[in-house]
Structure 1
């Protein structure tokens, strides 16, 4: 089973994401800010990172930039309630594979299917 890292400053949102993906992914770790995202990515090297943008200490865009520096092939799906056109474009330019608007988590599994379609894990 593929592994996932979920990072959001809201435990409630992390729980929703976990419940949405747990039949298809092993959630290897959860973090509550960008610093933890970077640290947990280095430690676990998950198959996919589900990353919020608006978080304390280090925001999601900086965390995304650092994760992509660690592994340019990292699979990161960004989710946020603050999806301006500029923010979405910036996340994609930094290497995010998709952008999901909160609370539309029904779009999460289709986005993950796209990422792993060739491996037929979902």
Structure 2
């Protein structure tokens, strides 16, 4: 079991859904509503995994991922998106994400992070 997991997702309904999928995999599941909060939350909780949305209002997930990885090179970030394009996957990799999962396949998260 993980100690801490961080969900960064601006849609409250999607955040609840993601949390319901992974809640039993971590002692604590923390949440942020935007990429602008992600680095602060990462440094506060030091999660083993970050589940990061891409499209958010204040700061997008790729920018937030780059900031976290720059400050914490060992950070494990899984990008969650509804877009499965090659360009998006390449951008996630360039940002430093370790994994990439489509939101339509949330159960795949369990296989990756456990």
Shared topology, TM-score over 0.5? Answer: yes
Counterpart of 1:30 in structure 2 is 31
Paired residues, number: 113
CA distance in 1, matches of 2:48, 2:102: 21
CA distance in 2, matches of 1:34, 1:54: 9
CA distance in 1, matches of 2:55, 2:83: 8
CA distance in 1, matches of 2:88, 2:37: 21
> How do 1:81-120 and structure 2 match up within 5 A?
81-113=82-114
Q: Please tell me whether the aligned partners of residues 83 and 101 of structure 1 are also in contact (alpha carbons under 8 angstroms).
A: yes
Q: What's the RMSD between the two structures over aligned residues?
A: 1.2
Structure 2 length-normalised TM: 0.92
- How far apart are 1:26 and its partner, in Å? 2.9
Query: Deviation per CA, 1:7-49, whole angstroms, max 9, x where unpaired?
Result: 1011111111111111111334201111011221122111110
What's the secondary structure of 1:22's corresponding residue?
A: helix
CA distance in 1, matches of 2:110, 2:48: 14
Residues 1:51 and 1:60: Cα distance change in structure 2 (over 3 Å): same
Q: Unaligned stretches of 5+ in structure 2?
A: none
CA distance in 1, matches of 2:64, 2:76: 13
CA distance in 2, matches of 1:27, 1:96: 21
CA distance in 1, matches of 2:55, 2:27: 24
Q: Unaligned stretches of 5+ in structure 1?
A: 114-122
What's the secondary structure of 1:57's corresponding residue?
A: coil
Check if 1:20 corresponds to 2:21: yes
